[in-house]
């Protein structure tokens, strides 16, 4: 009989009746109100006593052609060097600005030392995560692909501005260093090539001088054999003109005195440089390439869009949002506590008891 009565109950009797639920919560209304009020007050207190956060923001844009002019000093087709473009220079800067390596370096060398000693002893990963939230770098929007914004948040407005300024300046230093290194490496390769050409020309000059001495010595033997001390004066004779050329066959016609003087002069010569064609031009190129890296001065790899000003008011407050979240969280917690108390109470309404549900429906 009891089994039939139980099975005769409607299927929805096993579910929570809303009226029973409302009745149970109504009985615990003071608990719910109290918990909600306490949590809301705590949220409001936390929001009220929390320190204001200031936000420093700097926009960066590409440099001008004049800013990068010194990078292109001497970079011509004749010197086998391609000029740098604004896009190339700014690309190096933005790559460093967004680099994780710079963030890590800045975190270790600047941000950590600025914290109180008590805060540095915590988890480094946690501190770095907090730093990543305080300092952010991003594109302003997809339409302007060359305009970036660097944002720093801090309790001190001055420190936020300093944080942004130092971060951008460090990215600029790394970019300049990278470009300068590239220029130096490129110039060094070209300088080595020029130095090799100069060495080759000097070797050729030395061999030419040695060959000339040998030719003059042979011509001296011939001149001494025929007793020719001075060159004969014969007008209109082309053979005499040939004697002035070491490649000619009549060098001996210069006479023994001239030949001995030339031999002595060649043997006592300290350097063949003045007599080597194109050597001075190559030496000038070598000097240019050797000093190219050190000649790079007064260059900029970015510009700031607007003046960096000290923020005079905190970022947009979200106090009302935090209070609302506290209110909702308190209400949810109050309901949960009320349901638990109702379930544990000996005289409470059993929300899952089929008989009480059926009785309530009647």
- Entry field: residues in the chain: 362
Domain count for the chain, please give it: 2
Query: Which DSSP helix (H) or strand (E) runs through 198?
Result: helix 157-226
Q: Do residues 264 and 217 share a domain?
A: yes
* Lookup: tokens for 298: 């007064």
pLDDT at 329: 87
Rounded CA separation 163/156 (Å): 10
Q: Do residues 280 and 343 share a domain?
A: no
Report which of 79, 71, 77, 273 is spatially closest to residue 193, judged by C-alpha positions: 79
pLDDT at 360: 47
Phi-psi region of 240 (alpha: psi -120 to 50; beta: other; left: phi over 0): alpha
pLDDT at 261: 94
pLDDT at 99: 94
Q: Do residues 322 and 259 share a domain?
A: no
Which CATH number do you get for residue 256? Answer: 1.10.287
- For 329-362, the three-class secondary structure string (H helix, E strand, C coil) is HHHHHHHHHHHHHHHHCCCCCCCCCHHHHHHHHC
Whether the Cβ atoms of residue 216 and residue 256 lie closer than 8 Å to each other: no
Q: Do residues 249 and 334 share a domain?
A: no
**pLDDT tens sequence across 84-139:** 999 999 999 999 999 999 999 999 999 888 888 877 777 888 899 988 888 999 99
Q: Do residues 287 and 322 share a domain?
A: no
Q: Do residues 324 and 284 share a domain?
A: no
Report which of 263, 360, 321, 333 is spatially closest to residue 22, judged by C-alpha positions: 360
Question: Which residue segment(s) compose the domain that 210 sits in?
Answer: 197-293
Q: Give CA angle at 315 (312, 317), nearest 5°.
A: 125
Which segments of the chain have a pLDDT < 50? 1-9, 11-14, 238-242, 354-362
- Domain stops at, among 242, 261, 293: 293
Within a domain: 172? no
**pLDDT tens sequence across 288-328:** 999 888 888 889 999 998 777 777 667 655 566 677 888 88
Q: How many CB atoms lie within 10 A of CB 54?
A: 21
Rounded CA separation 287/285 (Å): 5
Within a domain: 24? yes
Report which of 16, 33, 43, 45 is spatially closest to residue 337, judged by C-alpha positions: 33
Reported pTM? 0.68
pLDDT at 186: 93
């Amino acid at each position: 009989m009891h089994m039939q009565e139980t099975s005769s109950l409607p299927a929805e009797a096993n579910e929570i009746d809303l009226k029973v639920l409302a009745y149970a919560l109504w009985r615990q209304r003071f608990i719910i109100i109290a918990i909600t009020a306490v949590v809301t007050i705590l949220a409001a207190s936390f929001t009220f006593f929390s320190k204001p956060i200031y936000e420093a923001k700097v926009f960066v844009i590409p440099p001008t052609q004049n800013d990068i002019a010194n990078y292109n000093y001497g970079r011509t087709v004749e010197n086998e060097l391609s000029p740098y473009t604004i896009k190339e220079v700014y690309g190096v800067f933005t790559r460093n600005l967004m680099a994780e390596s710079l963030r890590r370096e800045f975190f270790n060398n600047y941000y950590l030392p600025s914290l109180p000693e008590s805060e540095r002893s915590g988890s480094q990963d946690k501190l770095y995560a907090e730093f990543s939230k305080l300092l952010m770098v991003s594109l302003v929007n997809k339409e302007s692909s060359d305009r970036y914004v660097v944002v720093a948040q801090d309790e001190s407005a001055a420190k936020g501005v300093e944080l942004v300024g130092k971060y951008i300046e460090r990215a600029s230093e790394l970019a300049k260093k990278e470009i300068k290194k590239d220029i130096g490496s490129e110039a060094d390769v070209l300088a080595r090539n020029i130095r090799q050409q100069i060495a080759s020309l000097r070797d050729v000059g030395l061999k030419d001088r040695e060959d000339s001495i040998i030719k003059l010595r042979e011509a001296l033997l011939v001149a001494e054999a025929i007793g020719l001390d001075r060159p004969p004066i014969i007008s209109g004779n082309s053979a005499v003109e040939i004697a002035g050329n070491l490649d000619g066959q009549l060098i001996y016609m210069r006479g023994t005195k001239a030949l001995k003087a030339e031999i002595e002069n060649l043997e006592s010569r300290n350097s063949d440089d003045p007599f080597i064609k194109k050597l001075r031009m190559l030496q000038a190129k070598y000097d240019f390439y050797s000093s190219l890296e050190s000649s790079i001065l007064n260059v900029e790899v970015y510009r700031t869009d607007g003046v960096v000003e000290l923020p005079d008011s905190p970022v947009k407050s979200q106090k009302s949002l935090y209070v609302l979240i506290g209110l909702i969280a308190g209400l949810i917690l109050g309901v949960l506590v009320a349901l638990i108390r109702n379930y544990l109470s000996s005289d409470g309404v059993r929300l899952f008891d089929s008989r009480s549900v059926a009785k309530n429906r009647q």
